[in-house]
Structure 1
Amino acid sequence: MAERIGAHEGAEEEVVRLCQELIRIDTSNPGDHSGPGERAAAEYVAEKLAEVGLEPVVLESHPKRTSVIARIEGEDPGRDALLLHGHLDVVPARAEDWTHHPFSGEIADGCVWGRGAVDMKDMDAMMLAVVRQRMREGRRPPRDVVVAFLADEEAGGTWGAQWLVDEHPELFEGCTEAVGEVGGFSLTVPGDRRMYLIEAAEKGIAWMRLKAAGTAGHGSMVHPDNAVTAVAAAVARLGSHRFPVRLTKTVRAFLERACQAYGVEFDPDDPEKCLTQIGPLARMIGATLRNTVNPTVLEAGYKVNVIPQEATAQVDGRFLPGHEEEFFATVDELLGPQVTREFIHHDRAVETDYEGALVAAMEEALTAEDPGALPVPYCLSGGTDAKAFARLGMRCFGFAPLRLPPELDFSGMFHGVDERVPLDGLRFGVRVLDRFLDRA
């Protein structure tokens, strides 16, 4: 055991500094190329990989929209390869809203604070720390491992993972499985045990622009053909609609195990009953019981007494694996005949079976570091770069391991104010990720 701890000591200390330094590189992604881009962070990552003997490939899809990929040779080159991926961009943040500056990487209250601390420069730092430690020690993984640090995930991956899959699929040659973000984090349950949620599915994305055309005219007159009224009515119908519950295999597996952990009987006719037990995480899990659509933007008009000829809105739609056709049929019915839709971004839902050697490797790594671990599959309500890599036939999972204090609202950290990650969580993640690579 002493030898095992010693093998991790460098990585456990380095991961905190790496996370801080990555957060200090502003990679805000407003979705329109107006931000700083990922170039500086990509160069930082490439330098850290090159320092330990790897040969990173740095690729730019658009000025300053930059990704880094490197391959680590495994002991058995005949085996299929594994992809570990993280994204370098973050959503924007306003410093005045935060307790600590969002790009300071400050340590306070036992956490690293800053934009990207959980989404997802923590995992980027864990990947870097583990890879650097293993390379320094000459410890090769059982099979080839490709590590990718990607641009543009926060805007759908068009200039990151999607671009790489389209333009440079050879970089992922042999990869049949992939591990990325939003999984492996803990939820404390009765008996001083922790469920670790491993993502095995995620909802599809339908970001849509709605349009209505009408007759322009004076605001003082009667106008039954009003584009603003048509769009507003469609938005109201969409926003108030409640889609029916659809239990996918992953969501059902999570609910059954969660009910067991909380001592609540699972009722397939009332699957939301156990959500009351899991605190703030119920927001994310609850959104995976059904399709959803939420209005987010309204645009129309330019003067109070002028009826505009066109009105538009934007909505964020998410659909469950296997329920895309039902989702769009419902949306079109709710829009009505006067309103049309077009995609801002559209991507698939993904789901894989929660079984096999890779799942066993994740579970064994968790239970080795936390004997109270209860690994469970779950479906993510959002989306990740897994959608792009699934196009290459990879089985995709979310596994960025973190042991978290019970009081931390982890799901609220994503895109929220005062995003932070516990130092102990980072160090735990390094230990688990290293064990996982030994078994994967």
Structure 2
Amino acid sequence: MTGPAHGVAELCSALVAIDTTNRARGDAVGEREAAEFVAGVLTDEAGVEPVLLEPAPRRTSVVARVPGRDPGLGALLVQGHLDVVPADPDGWTVPPFSGAVRDGYVWGRGAVDMKDACASVLAVVRSWAARGVRPRRDLVLAFVADEETGGAYGAEWLVAQHRELFDGCVAAIGEGGGFPHPADGVRFYPVGTAERGTLHLRLTATGRGGHGSRPNRDNAVVTLVEALARVAAHRFPVRLTPTVREYLLRTAEALGVPAELDSDAGVEATIARLGHAGRLAAGVVRPTMTPTVLAAGSAVNVIPPVAEAMVDTRVLPGGMAEVTAALADLLGPRVRYEVVAQGDPVQAPFDSPWFTAMAESLRAEDPHAVVVPYCLGGGTDAKAFSALGIPCYGFAPLGPAPDGDGYDHRAMAHAVDERVPVSGLEFGARVLDRFLLQA
């Protein structure tokens, strides 16, 4: 058997079994081992010559170029990450780095984020060598480190130090779309055509330190907590980006419900009518600011002079001024902020031949697929690659789980008992094969 889906579950299992936990910037394991595994498959089974690159010891990424049939066409970047978030084995049905294949699923950390997609790419490319076929255009394959903590040792570094590897790329695909999202009898397949921008902030309040038993109206902790309460309660007005507007219109049409998008109340009502499908839009119709980390003091009877917090802010395209103006009002004169990390929003056209080809590839495997553009609420390595002027799409196709088991793909990422259906992996490999050969 030499089809594109052959052995994809085994490849996914093998990748999951390599612990590539990325705990914090500069604190990761296993990326070198995973990169060597990927490079071995590409070299020994796909006839491709990869290069391994490291900004620091063992923080390894793999890049390879697959020649296409028409050298006159621009290249397509196919990018995915090899690192995963931590997994506490307590509560897991199977050990999180077992890569167990059972009950029709591949189990373990990274099974859906995103070693499933990496395995699909490997399965497809190695099948071409056995089948004697080539893609229509050059492909640049990038299996990168460090996505989970921002990409400083992965995509960001590659873009800054080795941008020549991506010369000629006219589009890119990566994580964040192409999976089934059923709602009210309709099988939606959202494809990512946008991402909100990332703005991670550190807030600092200063005051007068002292003894905890004495009154102190200049308590940095109180000042900071009051400011955080205002930040957490603030609700920005609705502002629909082109992708989110199109998602709401197409989804409402498919479900046969009215779409009212001319007011904040109308948008909220439309999202409610969409039911389960509305969840993909609910978090991306406005900027958000979420307090996530607090740090102050070291003893219960000491008022500290400084208190700090981290806030995860997500920004819509063109909305940076809106967020910074709100911060000035919400924080007040005694709390300052600094930008710890910033990633620009991502936008790619949904009225493009690329999106059309993705939709056609999905419908070839699932004739009932309703393919819609959507905006990711979080961020991916697309932020780094889009800085090169490459339109980036979230398209890592995956098929439905066996009927009736209640599996929710979106709920699996970073979760206990993360797993991916074998049938869905095989579906995704077939979709990816069709898209990459013809796009």
Match of 1:428 in 2: 427
Q: Report the secondary structure of 2:13's partner residue.
A: helix
**Residues 281 and 411 of structure 1 are in contact (CA less than 8 Å); yes or no, is this contact kept in structure 2?**
no
**TM-score normalised by structure 1 residue count:** 0.95
Q: CA 1:281–1:298 in 2, change beyond 3 Å: closer, same or farther?
A: farther
Deviation, 1:216, is 1.1
Task: Give 1:336's match in structure 2, choosing from 332, 339, 344.
Answer: 332
CA offsets per residue over residues 309-354 of structure 1, 9 Å max, x none?
1100111111112212212221232111111112221110011210
**1:373 and 2:369 matched:** yes
Shift of 1:411: 1.8
Please state whether the residue corresponding to 2:22 is helix, strand or coil: coil
Match of 1:46 in 2: 39
- Paired residue for 1:273, among 269, 274, 285? 269
1:18 to 2, 11, 17: 11
Shift of 1:33: 2.1
Alpha-carbon separation, structure 2, partners of 1:422 and 1:278: 26
Letter in 2 for 1:307: I
Q: Which amino acid aligns with 1:196?
A: Y
SS at match of 2:28: coil
How many angstroms apart in 2 are the aligned matches of 1:234 and 1:134?
57
Instruction: Report the equivalent of 1:97.
Output: 91
> Match of 2:240?
247
Moved more, 263-272 or 308-317: 263-272
Percent sequence identity is 51
Write out the 4+ residue segments of structure 1 that deviate beyond 3 Å after TM superposition: 274-284
Which range is displaced more, 401-410 or 83-92? 401-410
1:138 Cα deviation from its structure 2 partner: 2.4
The 5 A counterparts of 1:180-219 are 180-190=174-184, 192-219=185-212
2:130 corresponds to 1:158: no
Query: What does 1:24-103 correspond to in 2, within 5 Å?
Result: 24-51=17-44, 52-103=46-97
How far has the Cα of 1:135 moved from its partner? Answer: 2.3
Supply the distance in 1 between the matched residues of 2:27 and 2:165 (Cα, whole angstroms). 28
Contact 1:93 1:102 in 2 (8 A): yes
Give the Cα separation in 2 of the matches to 1:246 and 1:414: 27
Deviates more, 1:355-364 or 1:345-354: 355-364
Distance in 2 of aligned mates of 1:220 and 1:131: 68
Structure 1 counterpart of 2:295: 299
Residue pair 2:257, 2:274 contacting (<8 A) in 1 also: no
Question: Quick one: distance in 2 between partners of 1:278 and 1:156?
Answer: 33
In the alignment of these two chains, the number of paired residues is 432
- Point out where structure 2 has 5 or more consecutive residues left out of the alignment: none
**For the residues of structure 2 that align with 1:401 and 1:278, how far apart are their CA atoms?**
23
For 1:368 and 1:59, locate their aligned partners in 2 and report how far apart those are by CA, in whole Å. 37
Determine the C-alpha separation between the residues in 2 that align with 1:38 and 1:280. 36
Q: Deviations over 1:128-174 (max 9, x none)?
A: 10011112322111111000000111111111000000000011110
Q: What RMSD over aligned residues (CA atoms) do the two structures have, in Å?
A: 1.5
Counterpart residue type for residue 432 of structure 1: V
C-alpha separation in 2, matches of 1:254 and 1:283 = 11
* Paired residues of 1:189 and 1:261 also in contact (CA < 8 A): no
Distance 1:16 1:64 in 2: 26
Rounded Cα–Cα distance in structure 2 between residues aligned with 1:256 and 1:281: 12
AA matched with 1:101: P
Aligned with 2:21: secondary structure? Answer: coil
Gap runs ≥5 in structure 1: 1-5
| Cα distance in 2 for residues equivalent to 1:281 and 1:46 | 39
